[in-house]
Amino acid sequence: MRWIMLLLAVAGFVLAFTTKSPALLGFGLLVGLVCTLGFCLALAAARISANAQPESMLIVDPEVSSLRARTQKLKQIQSDVRTTARSAANATNDERPSSAS
């Protein structure tokens, strides 16, 4: 479709430059400009759609909330493990007799 727009734009400009009628000149310029704009927009749309992520790959709200909940659980588990490790380290330090010189 974009190549058809380009061909129509070229045809419009050729008509505008070869005619002797002011009406055909205006019509040719109008067709050329509108088709050139359509061609540029079609190129941009093709470029965007080529780089776009498919909608099936997008993360939806339930998935985001489950990921957040899982991350919070992991952080809580990690902090519990650190607290337990510190408590165990402090308990072993308290049980060791201090050597008096």
Specify the higher pLDDT residue, 61 or 21. Answer: 21
Q: What is the pLDDT of residue 88?
A: 75
pLDDT of residue 5 exceeding 70: yes
Phi, psi of 92 (to 5 degrees): -70, -35
Q: What is the pLDDT of residue 84?
A: 84
- Confirm if 34 and 14 have CB atoms less than 8 A apart: no
Q: What is the pLDDT of residue 81?
A: 85
Tens-place pLDDT, residues 40-89: 999 999 999 888 777 766 667 777 788 888 999 999 998 888 888 787 77
Q: Which of 39, 40, 35, 42 is nearest to 9 (CA)?
A: 35
- 8: which residues sit within 8 A by CB, 6+ positions away? 31, 35
